[in-house]
Amino acid sequence: MILDPQRILIVLHGSIGDVTRALPLANLVRRRYPGARLSWSVEPPVFPLVEHHPAVDEVILFDRSRWWRSLGPFLKRIRSKQFELVLDLQRLLKSGFISWWSGAPHRLGFHSCDSKEFNWLFNNHHIPAAGDGISKLSHYLKFAEWLGIEPHPVEWRLQLLPQEQASVENMLREVGGPFAVFFVGSRWESKQWFPGDTAKCSAEIQRRYGLEIVLLGSREDSPFADEVRGFGLQRLANWVGKTSLRQAIGILGRAQVSIGPDTGLMHISAAVGTPVVSLWGATSPTRTGPYGFESLIVQGKAPCSPCYLRQCPIGRICMQSIDIDEVTAKVGKALSQKIKQDGAQL
């Protein structure tokens, strides 16, 4: 189908990782429709990812935490924009309703086999069925293919404002030299590694590669970070719960390498081009691995992995099986790749 929409809406209120992986699609849509107005419907936790993004003209915010006040004005704003094309990337009931409520004549969503909560009923166009055997990023790019857009290049274009860059530079003055980031914790207890292993691995990275260590994460991850600090590691900056998401983007962009479990900061690291050593157990890297750094995956082993359970009833055997020496060796591989990449850009 040949479309020439002038008002386009992306609906994705998902996690940091999901929204990060959808940015390449937004860039492709912007390139294909340079004169169109591209809006994105999001919730507050992921707002900083699309705020000021060069592909996005407008962010329509829905504050779910105060839904009784925000829902009416949000839906009124959606309807008033008279969108011609909606890309429903969330495949849930709520995103389907937003897509339908927009009144757009063309509403593109996931195939019924890949959607949930009867989402497909709210959209009148659907991408082909793909299943969970492809990555989420590749799944999002199927929307570009449906629109007749070549799904390349894959670009994120995450950019900080000058004052944000200055803030990051000021923070990094506390770090004595090149550094590695450990992004710790996760909303899913089952995905988490362990504070002791994190501390031991950090010490080994310092010993082998001479890197400082920076801890990043959300405020909820602070107890985890405090346990890591309790092991007495030197040359460690604990910024867990102390940075904005935009500052975390800048810090990851300046790191030599990052390490951690399946979480949003993993995808941000990949998006800014910093090699990421990702640690896996309860979830599958086939579906949600970091783009471009598949060779740096460390897969935990357990008969039940991946289980996709938020809480593990058997002590995270898969994450216990992750070997510190294997993680450290992957860091060395990542650093070698980065040296070659930086040399090629000179």
The reply to whether 284 and 135 lie within a common domain is no
Residue 106 is assigned to a structural domain of this protein = yes
Query: How is residue 71 written in tokens?
Result: 């829902």
- Of the pLDDT bands very low, low, confident and very high (cuts 50, 70, 90), residue 346 is very low
Averaged pLDDT for residues 325-331: 97
Residue 196 is assigned to a structural domain of this protein = yes
Asked whether the predicted pLDDT for residue 169 surpasses 70, the reply is yes
Residue 265 is assigned to a structural domain of this protein = yes
Instruction: With CA atoms as reference, report the closest residue to 208 among 331, 336, 297.
Output: 331
Give the tens place of pLDDT for each residue, 105-132.
999 999 999 999 999 999 999 999 998 8
Averaged pLDDT for residues 8-19: 95
Task: Name the 3-class secondary structure at 322.
Answer: coil
Confidence at residue 341, expressed as pLDDT on a 0 to 100 scale: 65
Containing structural domain, residue 302: 167-345
Averaged pLDDT for residues 203-207: 96
Confidence at residue 272, expressed as pLDDT on a 0 to 100 scale: 96
The reply to whether 133 and 233 lie within a common domain is no
Confidence at residue 344, expressed as pLDDT on a 0 to 100 scale: 47
228 DSSP assignment = H
| pTM confidence score | 0.94
Asked whether the predicted pLDDT for residue 316 surpasses 90, the reply is yes
Residue 341 is assigned to a structural domain of this protein = yes
The reply to whether 77 and 197 lie within a common domain is no
Q: Is 28 exposed, middle or buried (0-12, 13-18, 19+ CB in 10 A)?
A: buried
Confidence at residue 118, expressed as pLDDT on a 0 to 100 scale: 95
d(CA 342, CA 336): 10
Average confidence score pLDDT of the chain: 94
Proportion of the chain above pLDDT 90, given as a percent: 90
Residue 154 is assigned to a structural domain of this protein = no
- Of the pLDDT bands very low, low, confident and very high (cuts 50, 70, 90), residue 340 is low
Confidence at residue 299, expressed as pLDDT on a 0 to 100 scale: 96
Task: Name the 3-class secondary structure at 20.
Answer: helix
d(CA 341, CA 6): 39
The reply to whether 138 and 195 lie within a common domain is no
Averaged pLDDT for residues 227-241: 91
Proportion of the chain above pLDDT 70, given as a percent: 97
Asked whether the predicted pLDDT for residue 100 surpasses 70, the reply is yes
267 DSSP assignment = H
The reply to whether 181 and 288 lie within a common domain is yes
Q: Is 130 exposed, middle or buried (0-12, 13-18, 19+ CB in 10 A)?
A: middle
Query: Position of tokens 């941000």?
Result: 268
HSE-CB of 247 using CA atoms within 13 angstroms: 18
Residue 153 is assigned to a structural domain of this protein = no
- We report the CATH number of the domain holding residue 295 as 3.40.50.2000
Amino acid type, 273: G
Residue 160 is assigned to a structural domain of this protein = no
Q: How far is CA 75 from CA 24, 56, 88, 159, in A?
A: 26, 19, 15, 29
The reply to whether 234 and 136 lie within a common domain is no
d(CA 12, CA 47): 11
The answer to whether 144 and 28 are in contact (CB under 8 A) is: yes
The reply to whether 91 and 210 lie within a common domain is no
Which residues are 8's β-sheet partners?
38, 85
* H or E segment and range at residue 254: helix 245-254
The reply to whether 189 and 261 lie within a common domain is yes
Asked whether the predicted pLDDT for residue 67 surpasses 90, the reply is no
d(CA 160, CA 74): 27
The reply to whether 177 and 301 lie within a common domain is yes
Domain count, the chain: 2
Strands (E), the chain: 7-11, 37-42, 58-61, 85-88, 106-109, 125-126, 179-183, 212-216, 236-238, 257-261, 276-280, 298-299
The reply to whether 122 and 201 lie within a common domain is no
The reply to whether 130 and 176 lie within a common domain is no
Residue 162 is assigned to a structural domain of this protein = no
Confidence at residue 237, expressed as pLDDT on a 0 to 100 scale: 94
Asked whether the predicted pLDDT for residue 252 surpasses 50, the reply is yes
25 Cβ neighbours under 8 A, 6+ residues apart: 10, 87, 89, 140, 141, 143, 144
CA triple 39-23-186, angle to 5 deg = 115
The reply to whether 271 and 229 lie within a common domain is yes
HSE-CB of 306 using CA atoms within 13 angstroms: 16
